[in-house]
Amino acid sequence: MSATRQAAFDPQTRVQYLSGVGPARARLFEKLGLSTLEQLVRHYPRTYLDARTFVTVDALSPDRVLTVLGQVHSAAAHRTRRGRTDFTARVVDRTGAVTCHFFGQPWLARALVPGSRVVVSGTVDAAGRMLNPMFEVIESEVEELLHAGRLVPVHALTRGITGRGMRGAVRRALDLVADRVVDPLPPALAARLGPLSAALRQIHLPADERELAQARERLAFEELFLLQTVLEIRRRVLSEEGRGLVTAGPGSLAARARQALPFALTADQERALDEIVNDLRSPRPMHRLLVGDVGSGKTVVGLLAALHVIEAGHQVAFMAPTEILARQHVTTLTRFARSVETSVVGLTGASSAGERRAIQTRLEAGEPLLVVGTHALLEAKVAMPKLGLAIVDEQHRFGVRQRATLAQKGVIPDVLVLSATPIPRTLALALYGDLDLSPIRTKPAGRGRVVTRVAGEEKFPQVLEFMAQELVVGRQAFVVLPVIDEGGAVEARAAAAEHERLSQHPLLAGRVVGLLHGRLKTEQKQSTMDAFAAGRVQVLVTTTVIEVGVDVPNATLMVIENAERFGLAQLHQLRGRVGRGAERSVCVLVPGPSASAEALERLEILTHTEDGFALAEADLERRGPGELWGMRQSGLPRLKLADLRDDRLLERALEAAREIVSADPRLRLAEHRPLQEALLRDYREPLELALAG
């Protein structure tokens, strides 16, 4: 490659200037997020097709992808009966001929001209033809094969860009800029891992599995290293700045409230509370995740922490994900706090304008209140000048941005996130590297067991019979339907239909069946919830509205319909709505008629274990992290190659990140310039927020 050509192509050159692309095709590449040559060479293959086995034509087989080297004997385009123009080429070698048939690609006539030497990879059909084989015309002996006869890379495509087109563009981009893509890794680290340019070439065009594995590890490490570096910077900045407050009183308020509780805290609750109070006493802003399975008693821990803060004269915001839960929290917290004459005020959809104003006035005056609401409290409409602690229920994705919203007058309040999503350690480390964890692993004693069963739809009558029996002895039941569409319209209809069916079912004669779904007005939801809590409604047909936090100890039966549509973690959360009292509870999973064998197997896992952490691990293994915890929405760019389950690589990345950040916390050294730029590209927001301090 000549020096002038090299000079002309910077990795930031736009894809449109690549030969064979141009402005129109460049727009197609844009659709895939590929604007520059660097992005193109970073567009790693999704998978690879192994077309490395060369055979003679007479040895082609329908069972596996095989490759022949031959010559185009004849070629012709022809119209099909359906009006499409197909193309066929006969390829011969010394043992015979094979017909290669391409659907609707007449233009191939230009490439596959009689006499040309070709490599063709594919399987043959019953008639001995190769349908849409991969092929490559050999123009020179020195050119490396790209489309056939090798480990063929398969990239994500979009309409208008073929696999061949993409491979060609990627290879040209590699030739032009692979050597010039700036390596974000610091030089010492890069030296240990080998050159980036080789890894980029090998991820697209690996000679063999070994090369591929090496390239993948190098590039996956880079992704994890960037992630860990930004988290490490956040951790350090947060721990150094001390912009937090000392927000814990001596604890007599909390101690009195504890005495009034009808139960003693479990050992795990005690330990978690200690950890939280220690954080409150330190000027370092707390960012702690209190993780405990559903029903493990996180709310009361949150409340006691809140009392420490209130005692110190600060305000506390307690936020729930939904209106219903916010109101439920108002009730529970009021009950818990009554003994210590602490005011719990609710700022929910139910509050009148007058109430709102009154509360706002008290808050502005700096009165130490415990304010309970939905996450909307965050939206800065509510001024809490003395906010010392924000407790966020069931919002494990609570991140830096939300925390910054809370920071008023430059003071960062302590943040306690309550989460029932049992996050496997590795994932927690990766996602919440800057979060401290307080796990509650054991549930309070005296809880009834939850027995879980899978019952096909044909058993539904028996399920209803069982339900009727439970109702006779005064228990209550949930019937849960999955969310079917985003807007909730279908879901609402399905719930309404099921409500109708059960209301009229002879087995449930004389019972009140309630209906709760996302489309109802807040007041309707609330009154139904109240009626269920009070036992006036015995069966509640609902959707995932109730997924989190609803606490009705008298409910002992949960029936989940179309259960295969839920993830394990979600099913586990749902079944946590029962088993809250001392009685044995039952959760029945009813898969829909089209549930696959694999889905049924997945449901079976729930019948064996009640341990949320174990289930989360199982789910993680099956579905991968992206789907599970909505990582895409969490502000993390998608990790293209790295697997968060790869403990070994994660640890290595963390170690490397620590080393760099402890030597150069703000990445000011020249040799860390590329690293900083890569972080600004991939993690701009978290990084800027962290460094703004």
How far, in Å, CA of 11 to CA of 173, rounded?
A: 8
Tokens, residue 242: 């001390």
Choose between 124 and 558: whose C-beta lies nearer to ligand ADP: 558
Distance CA 534, CA 250 (A): 38
CB of 581 to ligand ADP, least distance (A): 9
Q: End-to-end distance of the chain based on CA atoms, in angstroms?
A: 47
Q: Which is nearer to ligand ADP, 229 or 266 (CB)?
A: 266
Distance, in Å, from the CA atom of 56 to the CA atom of 140, rounded to the nearest integer, reads 21
* Cα Rg of the chain (Å, integer): 31
CB of 301 to ligand ADP, least distance (A): 8
| Nearest partner of 308 among 257, 371, 261, 359, judged by Cα | 257
For residue 634, the minimal CB distance to ligand ADP (Å) is 22
Rounded Cα–Cα distance for residues 162 and 180 (Å): 27
Which residue, 208 or 270, has its beta carbon nearer to ligand ADP? Answer: 270
Closest to ligand ADP by CB, 116 or 395: 395
Comparing CB distances to Mg ion, the nearer of 269 and 538 is 269
Residue type, 95: T
Min dist CB 614 to ligand ADP, Å, is 18
Residue 442 vs 503, nearer CB to ligand ADP: 442
Pairing of strands 585-590, 555-561: parallel
| Residue 612 contacts Mg ion per CB under 5 A | no
Phi-psi group of 88: left, alpha or beta (phi > 0 → left; psi -120 to 50 → alpha; rest → beta): beta
Distances, alpha carbon 391 to alpha carbons 317, 375, 404, 417, 598, in Å: 6, 10, 14, 6, 39
Phi, psi angle pair for 671, to nearest 5°: -70, -10
Integer Cα distance of 116 and 133 in angstroms:
16
* Number of residues this chain uses to bind Mg ion (CB under 5 A): 2
**Of residues 231, 241, 240, the one with CA closest to residue 410:** 241
269 binds, among Mg ion, ligand ADP, none (CB under 5 to 8 A by kind): ligand ADP
Q: Say which entry of ligand ADP, Mg ion, none residue 234 contacts (CB below 5 to 8 A, set by partner kind).
A: none
Among positions 547-566, residues that touch Mg ion (CB under 5 A) are 549
Q: How far is the CB of 336 from ligand ADP (least distance, A)?
A: 8
Q: How far is the CB of 431 from ligand ADP (least distance, A)?
A: 20
| Residue 153 partner contact from Mg ion, ligand ADP, none using kind-dependent CB cut-offs of 5 to 8 Å | none
220 contacts which partner out of ligand ADP, Mg ion, none, CB within 5 to 8 A by kind? none
Q: From the list ligand ADP, Mg ion, none, pick the one residue 13 interacts with, judged by a Cβ distance below 5 to 8 Å according to partner type.
A: none
Contact by Cβ (8 Å): 451, 587: yes
Q: Which residues partner with 288 through β-bridges?
A: 416, 436
For residue 533, the minimal CB distance to Mg ion (Å) is 15
CA pair distance 648, 432, nearest whole angstrom = 18
Sign of CA dihedral 256, 259, 265, 270: positive
Site for Mg ion in 276-335 (CB under 5 A): 299
Identity of the residue, 397 or 459, whose beta carbon is nearer to Mg ion in the bound complex:
397
Residue 263 interacts with which of ligand ADP, Mg ion, none, CB < 5 to 8 Å by class: ligand ADP
Output the six-digit token pair for 620. 């993680």
Using the 8-state DSSP alphabet, how is residue 82 labeled?
Answer: T
Instruction: Say how far apart CA 423 and CA 430 lie, in whole Å.
Output: 11
Per-residue binding letters, 520-549, with Mg ion (x by CB under 5 A): -----------------------------x
Of the pair 391, 477, the CB lying nearest ligand ADP is at: 391
- Closer to ligand ADP by Cβ: residue 176 or 257: 257
How far apart (Å, rounded) are the C-alpha atoms in residues 164 and 20? 12
Q: Is 609 helix (H, G, I), strand (E, B) or coil?
A: coil
C-beta of 530 vs 551, nearer to Mg ion: 551
Shortest reach from residue 304's CB to ligand ADP, in Å: 10
Interface residues for Mg ion in 185-214 (CB under 5 A)? none
11 binds, among Mg ion, ligand ADP, none (CB under 5 to 8 A by kind): none
Question: CB of 196: closest distance to Mg ion in angstroms?
Answer: 47
Beta carbon of residue 169, minimum distance to ligand ADP (angstroms, whole number):
52
Of 692, 688, 684, 683, give the one whose Cα is nearest residue 228: 683
Tell the smallest beta-carbon distance from residue 611 to Mg ion (Å): 18
Residues lying near ligand ADP in the complex (CB under 6 A): 263, 265-266, 269, 292, 294-300, 420, 444, 549, 551, 580
The two structure tokens encoding residue 395? 């919002």
Contact call for residues 433 and 235 (beta carbons, < 8 A) = yes
Give 170 or 546: the residue with its C-beta nearer to ligand ADP.
546
| 173: nearest Cα among 21, 2, 4 | 21
**Which of Mg ion, ligand ADP, none lies near 107, with the C-beta cut-off 5 to 8 A by kind?**
none
In the complex, the smallest distance separating the C-beta of residue 418 from Mg ion, rounded to whole angstroms, is: 6
Q: What residue 296 binds from ligand ADP, Mg ion, none (CB within 5 to 8 A, per partner kind)? A: ligand ADP
Q: Which bin fits 160, alpha (ψ -120 to 50), beta or left (φ > 0)?
A: left
295 binds, among ligand ADP, Mg ion, none (CB under 5 to 8 A by kind): ligand ADP
Task: Output helix, strand, coil percentages for the chain, rounded to the nearest 5.
Answer: 45, 20, 35
Strand partners, 66: 122
The residue sitting closest to Mg ion, measured at its beta carbon, is: 549
Nearer to ligand ADP, 270 or 364 (CB): 270
Binder of residue 551, out of ligand ADP, Mg ion, none (CB less than 5 to 8 A by kind):
ligand ADP
Smallest separation (angstroms) from ligand ADP to the CB of 122: 56
69 vs 330, which CB is nearer to Mg ion? 330
The one of Mg ion, ligand ADP, none whose footprint includes residue 257, by CB under 5 to 8 A per kind, is: none
42 binds, among Mg ion, ligand ADP, none (CB under 5 to 8 A by kind): none
Residues found near Mg ion in the complex (CB under 5 A) = 299, 549
